Amino acid sequence: MATLADLAPRSVGVPKRQGGWRRGLAYLLLTAWALLMFVPFVWTIVTSLKDRPEAMAIGLPAAPDLDAYAHVWSRVDPTLPQLFLNSLGLAAAVSISNVILGSLAAYAFARLRFPGREIIFLVVLATLMIPDQLRLVPVYQIMNGLGFTKSNPTNYLSVFLVLAVSATSIFLLRQYFLGIPRDLDEAARIDGAGHFQTYWKVILPLAGPALAAVAILQFQGTWNGLFWPAIFFGPVREHWTLPFGIVQFQGIYQTDWPPLMAIVVVATVPILCLYVFFQRYFIEGIAASGVKG
């Protein structure tokens, strides 16, 4: 007579030993790929510890030193601390504006109903296909017509206005907002909250990972950006950012590799620290924005 144990469905799956073998192989391949991606950064650090003749050869330096880092402080114009402050100020301002303006636009596209909403959103996404080089002339003419290219303070304002909000920020935040239950909006409306109160007190507190992801992406992009600062900051030395300091070590016929790698390492450290401390929010925000629709 069959017992209950005999009648219970048997699990059909990958044997435990076979599953462990596959998992181990996957970890091995992922570790090898991660190390391969880390090689350029290691090469950058090693080169920054060499002198100029050694930099042309592959291998470890015979006598590592920090002369290249000291050389950076004397060669960069303006000084390296000023470049850091300029990059930090611009990147922070652009990140904050993208979080604020991007979240407002994303709330409208995700929560409000108005004529042409989907078409307008598609137009916003279509701007991602327009390269900055194609927008250069009209953007510069607009800023010049507004008088933002004639004095030093407004040069900074020109770059900020161009980067103040991006379609990428709006898209990521909209996707995340779509995953927040609409019952919360209904509850807030019953309590007498308007659209802005719902956005500020209900949606934003629940969208921390997405906001962090947008802030990190915009900070990193602005920190490394050279195109728009080169257009508006070129003649204004006191507004130069770190990419300008990197360009100073690149020559037409000869490149001074150790100082160039030294300033690249210095410029990479803030972004690396930012990602290390906020990687959990960044991964959560990107993952959630990618699967919700």
Pairs from 52-55 (Cβ < 8 Å, separation ≥ 24):
52/256, 52/257, 52/258, 55/257, 55/258, 55/261
Condensed to tens digits (0 to 9), the pLDDT of residues 158-199 reads 899 999 999 999 999 999 999 899 999 889 998 888 999 999
What's domain 92-291's architecture? Orthogonal Bundle (1.10)
State the alpha helices, DSSP H only, in 112-148: 117-126, 132-145
pTM of the model: 0.82
**Residues 6 or more apart from 216 whose CB is under 8 A from it?**
274, 275, 278, 281, 282
Q: Can you give the pLDDT at residue 274?
A: 83
Q: How far apart are CA 109 and CA 267, in angstroms?
A: 36
Instruction: List the Cα angle 163/277/66 in 5-degree steps.
Output: 90
Per-residue pLDDT tens digits of the chain, which is 293 residues long: 555 455 545 545 545 555 678 888 999 999 999 889 888 889 999 999 998 888 888 888 888 888 889 888 888 877 888 899 999 999 999 999 999 999 999 999 999 999 999 999 999 999 999 999 999 999 999 988 888 877 667 788 889 999 999 999 999 999 999 989 999 988 999 888 899 999 999 999 989 888 988 999 999 999 999 999 988 887 778 888 999 888 888 876 678 889 889 999 989 988 888 888 877 776 776 666 555 54
